[in-house]
Amino acid sequence: MLKLGVNIDHVATVREARYRGRGFGEPCPVAAALACEAAGAHGITAHLREDRRHIQDRDVVALRKKVSSRFNLEMANAEEIIRFALKLKPDIVCLVPERRLEVTTEGGLDVAGNLAALKRTCRRMNDAGIEVSLFIAPDPIQVAAAAMTGSQFIELHTGAYAECFGKARERKAELKRLAAAAAQAHDLGLQVNAGHGLNCANVPPLLAAVPHLVELNIGHSIVSRSLTVGLAKAVKEMLAVMRG
């Protein structure tokens, strides 16, 4: 069964717009996570950025205690965050590239260019009982490199597909790239997740074209939709689309 992981970063983004640096405020990311779980989400994702622009350390600690489904910590391959994760022990970490000026995570990890460092981090996480996913573009070189790191998963970056969704020829080409990357990863023994820019409109063609998907990680479109219909209904709508 295809699983849905809900990224709650933007719940914290709304809170930090008003209460940044104050240690309290609403909306509460933990309450949002629990609402997503109650609506049927199979996991919760939060990205603890080095600049702490949205999710804060206290959020992650509370999420680890309260979330009963699979908790996925997105993080840069940075020593401070690595040590935090090893102490926290989430179910899985997803290593992502991180740049201070970006609005959200743009582009995938350069696994091939950072193979030794990523191998070390994967080994440290796995030794602590934490699974690892690598957020990568659907590129055969990066998929091959990911299989050499000791990670259990890749998460295919679907941002380019989402951006060109309204252009039929480009959409078809991106789906072909994603399908090839998923097949290659599966053949190399990796499990395959996908995420970035996914919504109720672009998920069905993705599922029709791309094999071996285990989980979709979706945040912005669900949180945005929740402003008009509520979080529970937004999650249930996405689950219905995925089942369809």
Please identify every residue annotated as catalytic.
47, 74, 196
Q: How far apart are CA 207 and CA 214, in angstroms?
A: 11
Q: How far apart are CA 179 and CA 163, in angstroms?
A: 17
| Cα dihedral 220/223/225/226 (nearest 10) | 180
Q: How far apart are CA 197 and CA 235, in angstroms?
A: 15
| Cα dihedral 121/123/126/130 (nearest 10) | 0
What Å distances lie between residue 192 and 2, 48, 131, 161, CA to CA?
A: 11, 22, 13, 16
Token pair 């590129």 in the structure block, residue: 139
Is 34 within 8 Å of 61 (Cβ atoms)? no
Token pair 């990680």 in the structure block, residue: 217
Q: How far apart are CA 231 and CA 90, in angstroms?
A: 24
- DSSP state letter for 113: G
